[in-house]
Structures are given as structure tokens and as C-alpha cells.
Amino acid sequence: MNWLRRASSEPLWKDEFSIHTADEKYVTRRQLTKFLVLTSLGMFVGNIWILIRSVFYRSPQYAEMEVALASEIPINGVKLFGYPTEKDRCIMVRTTDNQYVAYSQKCTHLSCAVYYSQENKRLECPCHEGFFSVEDGSVLQGPPPRPLPKIELENRAGVLVATGVREG
């Protein structure tokens, strides 16, 4: 019979090759199962990794730093300082007689420096008109996606001390 096949237009190697071109597109049940098992395994390992990280994650510890004397800032006055390092610029505002608030000065949109508008009583970013509440750092208007990180302050006998950073 082989001599008959050779006489046809099909080359001999095609008879011996087990996969036909038209069948290459098909995914076998075994291949699909293998893909699903490996994908599920990858996701399982990823979730375990996230779980382990969340269990052992500790928020960073910040050193305390004296920022200013409470009396040196007038009501509606501003003091700029660096915290936790000198490069991390922050802005402190005395909003009332005995209320002081401080935030990172870096806008959460594209990192321009925010300033305090006494006229509007809010923190404003000049780059794209992003406005933040001076009360809690939340976004009032504009493209910033998150509130400003808040600097935790303590008034210790008239000395304002930065004790930490709380992400908004």
C-alpha cells in the first residue's frame, strides 16, 4: 500500500507526523487543565505572599522632632519645616488660637509644593489647582487622588513636636 501513497501528491512525512496543521489551533483538555492549575497555583502563592506581608508589616517608626514654639506662629500663620528628614518638606498652619495642623507639602498629584491660602482658608497647589482642606488634608477640588499625608503634632508645654506621619 505504501507505493500507492507515494504516488499521491501528499509527501510521505505528513503521513507520519501526528498533528495536522488544522488541529494545531485546538487546545486539548490536558493543556487547558495544566494552564488552569498553574494559574491558580500562581494566584494562590501570590495571595499567601500578600497575607504574610500584611501580618508582619510594621508601620515605620518616626523620630520625634521639635518643630516650633507655639507662640512664634500667629493665627493663620505658617511655618515650613522638614520631617521626617530635611528633604521632606512640610507645612504647619495655626488655624485657631490653640489648633495647629501640619501636612506634607508635596501635592499628591504630581508633587508640586502646596501653600496655605489665608484668603480661602485651604491648602492650594498652584500646578493644576488642586485644593486641600486645612482641617484634615482631604481633597476639595482638582486632580489630586489622595489627601495630603498628615504630620502628627503634639503641643508639649508650648513646644510643637512632630511625632509621626499618617498617610491620608
Annotate 123-162 with b (16+ C-beta within 10 A) or e (fewer).
bbbebeebbbbbeebebeeeebeebbbbbebeeeeeebeb
Is there binding between residue 67 and ligand FES (CB under 6 A)? Answer: no
Contact predicate 124/105, CB 8 Å: no
Contact predicate 160/68, CB 8 Å: yes
| C-alpha span between 164 and 168 (Å, rounded) | 13
Part in contact with ligand FES (CB under 6 A); list of ranges 40-48, 70-78, 141-149, 157-165: 141-149
Is there binding between residue 130 and ligand FES (CB under 6 A)? Answer: yes
CB nearer to ligand FES: give 102 or 125: 125
Q: How far is CA 134 from the centre of its chain?
A: 22
Pairing mode of beta strands 130-133, 122-125: antiparallel
In the chain the first and final C-alpha atoms are separated, in Å, by 81
The residue of the chain with the least Cβ separation from ligand FES equals 130
Which residue in 65, 127, 140, 161 binds ligand FES (CB under 6 A)? 127
Is there binding between residue 142 and ligand FES (CB under 6 A)? Answer: yes
Contact letters for ligand FES, residues 68-107 (x by CB under 6 A): ---------------------------------------x
Is there binding between residue 143 and ligand FES (CB under 6 A)? Answer: yes
Is there binding between residue 123 and ligand FES (CB under 6 A)? Answer: no
CB nearer to ligand FES: give 108 or 162: 108
CB nearer to ligand FES: give 74 or 145: 145
Give backbone dihedrals phi and psi of 122, rounded to 5 degrees, phi first.
Answer: -155, 165
Instruction: Give contact residues for ligand FES (rule: CB under 6 A).
Output: 107, 109-110, 112, 125, 127-128, 130, 142-144
